[in-house]
Amino acid sequence: MILKRIFDVVFSGIGLVVLTPLMVVIAILIRITMGPPVLFCQIRPGVNGVPFTLFKFRTMRDGPPGVSAVETDAQRMTPLGNVLRKCSLDELPELWNVFRGEMSLVGPRPLLMEYLEKYSPEQKRRMQVKPGLTGWAQIKGRNSLSWQEKFVLDVWYVDHQSFWLDLRIIILTVPVVFMGRGVSTPGEATTKVFSGQKHGTKLSS
């Protein structure tokens, strides 16, 4: 775990420095096309469910002021947002979360706070490690997988985590991001809401 933390600090720090020009360009484009704020900030559960503030680039516009009806993600997603999500560039600010120690480069993705009470005891085991920028479920299909499949893969990672597995996941993440595979659930702009299914599907590694 000490080696993992050193790896996280070193490579997130390098990433923040090297990618700063790109992030500045993205921030300017978001400001021009969507207005402020540039960042999407949301409370997410970290290791053992401890909340932290997640930072991402905005990909969706706000709804009209005074309108109570909730628009779908597809209606709110902007063309720039679609590009950022397809290339996973909206995730770049999470490097700051990794650097601060709230996330890791590799781990189960941080989901929503309201999902915590919907997890089964087995699914809740995914919270035993820090959430990550990428993870075992991300290289196995991302949002093209069902919630049950993703949770089984997350728990598998918790049981088998190692430095070499993390390195393998990081390497395999590159073609997944480059090809834009599994960014969205079929028929959805992002992914379906988790409704609290209790039973998972056994998957092999």
Which among 44, 82, 43, 32 has a CA at the least distance from the CA of 60? 82
Strands (E), 122-192: 132-134
DSSP structure class, residue 6: H
- Find the Cα–Cα–Cα–Cα dihedral 48, 117, 203, 139, rounded to 10°: -60
The SS3 call for residue 140 is: coil
Provide the 10 A C-beta neighbour count for residue 56: 18
Contact by Cβ (8 Å): 148, 197: yes
The SS3 call for residue 185 is: coil
> Domain coordinates of the chain in residue numbers?
2-179
Q: What is the pLDDT of residue 8?
A: 96
Q: Which residues contact 85 (CB under 8 A, 6 or more apart)?
A: 59, 77, 183, 184, 190
The model's pTM is 0.85
Site of tokens 């069902």: 146
Beta bridge partners of 39: 57
Per-residue pLDDT tens digits for 71-89: 566 677 889 998 998 889 9
Counting Cβ atoms within 10 Å, is residue 68 exposed (0-12), middle (13-18) or buried (19+)? exposed
Instruction: Give average pLDDT by consecutive 10-residue segment, the chain, 205 residues.
Output: 92 96 96 92 95 95 56 76 90 97 96 93 95 94 89 96 94 87 58 67 42
Site of tokens 């503030």: 53
Q: What is the pLDDT of residue 15?
A: 96
Per-residue pLDDT tens digits for 154-183: 999 999 999 999 999 999 999 988 887 666
